[in-house]
Amino acid sequence: MIFMFRHVLNYKSCFFLKTGGNRNCSNVRLVTSVSVLSDRDVRRDCCFDYLDFVLQWANSQAPRLPKAGETIHGHRFFIGFGGKGANQCVQAARLGAKTAMVCKVGRDVFGNDYIQNFKNNGISTAYVEQTENAATGAASIIINDTGENAIVIVAGANMLLGQEELQRALTTIVNAKVLVCQLEIKPDTSLQALRMARENHVKTIFNPAPAIVDLCSDFFKASDVFCCNESEAELLTGMSVTSVEDASQVGLELLNKGCGSVIVTLGPQGCVVCQPTNTAPKHIPTTAVTAADTTGAGDSFIGALAFYMAHYPTMPLEEMARRANLVAAVSVQTVGTQTSFPFQKDLPTELF
């Protein structure tokens, strides 16, 4: 099974992957959650735990992004579900994992809708909590005609995920195979979850998004895979990332901070993988495609990466990253976030 803990802000936060038995090692609404995925194709259950951010979002499409103080006409508007953790959970589930979420949403229409969205994606809602103390997380997204986007999020109920929720999910965490976390919930909550996972030999993926300059050094040490994009890497290191060579240098800098391994994603240029067993960073290119909407591409990548770590634990990290690149490349060819994420049936059989 795969368990994911997340804050639902359109799904951002953390998640765990588990195995039964031995371990192989415009406006959007937000929700905090954990999800569990179960892969029946493996002889044992593989589980993901997501400690994450959940949200419902409103998406406006316009020819260009507006300047400060400017009002422009758009040509399309629609509402969807998001949050980094939740997005990643949905992508992992669509690749074949059975999932469950641990999260918080408001006791409002948006929270109700998000719970139903989980169910529609085959995700267990047994650990989804609703609160009267905050609204469901939300995000506003504007996308221009070239696929670039600008996003504002309001965390809402996501920020109420804490120690009590982690303790209630303790059994799930310690039996997980992989845990994925982000920074859309309280950093202390994400760090505690990562520590709990590491103490129980659960593999961890940490996505430092949104990045913060003064990130606690313990996050690096608690990350088996530290996965960030160019802007996040630049903020964390103070080093500009405009090329594959820059990403390689930044990746090594992050690796030296104590990460088990580092992946720096580069959009259409693929990603760079840095590991202590290989002193030379490895550039993993991706397939060239025409992007319709890049929103959620990084979440698609991480959800796929988590799936491969749970389903194929002996696969080299570079190969996992190559396959995750290809999954994310499919997602950017369709408008929307979770709605753009491919199912296993939509992908080439050689990816599985």
3-state SS assignment for residue 23: coil
Burial class (CB in 10 A: 0-12, 13-18, 19+), 162: middle
Catalytic residue among 224, 246, 293, 299: 299
Contact 39, 97 (CB under 8 A): yes
Encoding tokens for residue 288?
A: 């060239």
Q: How far is CA 262 from the centre of its chain?
A: 15
3-state SS assignment for residue 170: helix
Burial class (CB in 10 A: 0-12, 13-18, 19+), 140: middle
- Which among 54, 73, 154 is positioned nearest to 111, based on CA atoms? 54
Encoding tokens for residue 314?
A: 């002996």
- Which among 23, 22, 11, 6 is positioned nearest to 203, based on CA atoms? 23
218 in active site: no
- Which among 128, 48, 55, 53 is positioned nearest to 95, based on CA atoms? 48
Encoding tokens for residue 235?
A: 């903020």
The set of catalytic residues is 299
